[in-house]
Amino acid sequence: MFLSLTTTIAQTVVSGTVMDEKINAPLPGASIIEKGTTNETISDFDGNFSLKITGESGEIEISYLRYTTITLSFDGDSDLGTISLSTKKKKKKKKKKKKRY
């Protein structure tokens, strides 16, 4: 008699919606990466994403060009809801004073 064992690996799914903080608009193409891995996805046209995670808990990093990158923790299957990103503040260049002779 043969005994058949099936091993299933549970995968955690983290999901959410990436939005612009000021105008409350979706950010399509935002990068969502599971920290410490090469596991990543991007948000769709409506800012939605779903990422299968390799472990039960950890952190994801969400970034978008010219926006502040944020890191969020998760534990098990998680719907992170709406994630608002703010634009990076521009650094002002200091003007050099002209020397007068």
Residue-wise pLDDT for 30-88, tens only, equals 999 999 999 999 999 999 999 999 888 999 999 999 999 999 999 988 999 999 999 98
pLDDT, tens only, 19-33 = 999 999 999 999 999
| Bridge partners, 13 (sequence order) | 52
The DSSP secondary-structure symbol of 77 reads S
Closest to 54 (Cα-Cα) out of 11, 1, 95? 11
Above 50 in pLDDT, residue 7? no
Of the candidates 70, 85, 87, which has an alpha carbon nearest to the alpha carbon of residue 33? 70
Domain count, the chain: 1
Query: In the prediction, which pLDDT does 94 show?
Result: 67
Asked whether residue 5 is assigned to any structural domain, the reply reads no
The pLDDT of residue 88 is: 85
Q: How far is CA 67 from CA 31, 57, 59, in A?
A: 11, 25, 19
Is 6 within a domain? no
Q: So what's the pLDDT on residue 92?
A: 66
Which of 99 and 9 is assigned the larger pLDDT? 99
Q: What domain range is 23 assigned to?
A: 12-85
Indicate whether 67 belongs to any domain: yes
Give a yes or no: residue 100 inside a domain. Answer: no
pLDDT of residue 76: 85
CATH at residue 21:
2.60.40.10
pTM of this prediction?
A: 0.76
